[in-house]
Amino acid sequence: MNTQLTDHLTKNFRLSFEHDPKVIVRAPGRVNLIGEHTDYNGGFVLPCAIGLETQIAATPRPDRLVRVVAVDQNNDFDQFDLAQSIVQHPQKQWVNYVRGVFKVLQDHGHNIGGANLTIAGTVPQGAGLSSSAALCVAVALVLKHLTAMPNMEATELAHIAQDAESNFVGCKCGIMDQLVSTHGIDDHAVLIDCANLATEAIAVPDDLAIMIVHSGISRGLVDGAYNQRRMQCEQAAAQLGVAQLRDATEEQLSRYQPKMDHTIFRRARHVITENTRTLKAAQALKKGDMASLRTLMAASHESMRQDFEITVPGIDQLVHVVQSVLGEIGGARMTGGGFGGAVVAILPHGECSRVADFIRAGYQTPAGTPPDVMIEKPAAGACIVETTT
């Protein structure tokens, strides 16, 4: 929990609204260790929540207005009226994540009242670390508290946040980011079966560190490419005669290959092989079997590069730099939706500073600076930080 962020947020809440917040919540970003673009195919993912997080301070209002201040966007401000239909803001994306959650809750029949909110966070945007899921989950959690919906469980919060991003903002994302933001566990990765949302906590051995390296290549507006991949997967599933690619096997895929378009075939091959790799990686992590983890992470990256085509040259170069300094001691791959963002590595703690120095010297962001290298510990899921009753 980031107490500095809480103090900063409280101070800014008082400046904006001239009273104390009634509740402060936090929701973490995530890093995905392996299992990319498998979630919306009913497959397996192995993410962990991280210490980078979004916090929201709030009070209810007697009227139906929502006033929101984004402290770390130069106090950018939004106001909307719950008595009128909630529509997209034409320019400001951050605003739409907030509006989207209110809209989804209203659509689900919840009687939401007005609120004052301030938002601040440490999850970098466009880094593939789920800043948007952290924001949506935090808004959903704050509203659960303000509007007294005690029965709303963590999985429902995750669904509401996903719905806002998918149907209001328009990126047809899966459930991984939101679910790990609500279900994260200190010192554990979470193996999620996205077909039934069963979760299994996988301890990250004490001697292993999770390193995140931001390429400085912002993911930008890539919703179109993301949604296209999703459609291609649905097309592949239909051709293979399965409800979702999770249900297809490699053997089935090679039988159908001659009849399939080569791009659709490769999309399916990524998802089917990535599911297998993710299950194997969870076992390898349990055993601290670095040799297997390293091979699986490298194969995952290759599959994202060649079959799913979601890496970009800068990211491939960064992964190459990280893999070459790691050699046998650790594994690395791009993490998240793709087209930029961050690289995740797993390596022994004792090697972090040597490896980070090498990476900073061996890769430059598009701005010509060394990349940000972060060491993250798996963190707990979204929760209330402070509340006054």
Active site residues: 177
- Our finding on whether 307 is near ligand GLA (CB under 6 A) is no
Q: Encode 254-282 in three state secondary structure.
A: HHHHHHCCHHHHHHHHHHHHHHHHHHHHH
* 274 φ/ψ angles, rounded to the nearest 5 degrees: -65, -35
- Our finding on whether 28 is near ligand GLA (CB under 6 A) is no
Among 9, 28, 29, 37, binds ligand GLA (CB under 6 A): 37
Report strand pairing: 372-376 vs 383-387: unpaired
- Our finding on whether 47 is near ligand GLA (CB under 6 A) is no
- Our finding on whether 174 is near ligand GLA (CB under 6 A) is yes
- Our finding on whether 53 is near ligand GLA (CB under 6 A) is no
Q: Which amino acid type is present at position 225? A: A
Among 22, 39, 98, 347, binds ligand GLA (CB under 6 A): 39
Among 17, 23, 36, 136, binds ligand GLA (CB under 6 A): 36
> Among 70-78, 106-114, 169-177, 374-382, which window interacts with ligand GLA (CB under 6 A)?
169-177
Residues 6+ apart with CB under 8 A from 214: 124, 127, 341, 342, 365, 371, 372, 374
- Our finding on whether 126 is near ligand GLA (CB under 6 A) is no
Among 43, 100, 336, 340, binds ligand GLA (CB under 6 A): 336
For residues 158 and 137, give the distance between their C-alpha atoms in angstroms, rounded to a whole number: 6
Interface with ligand GLA (CB under 6 A), residue total 12
| Residue 57, CB-side half-sphere exposure with 13 Å CA sphere | 27
Question: 7 to each of 18, 28, 59, 137, 142, how far by Cα in Å?
Answer: 15, 17, 16, 21, 17
- Our finding on whether 173 is near ligand GLA (CB under 6 A) is yes
- Our finding on whether 100 is near ligand GLA (CB under 6 A) is no
Contacts with ligand GLA, residue ranges (CB under 6 A): 32, 36-37, 39-40, 130, 173-174, 176-177, 336-337
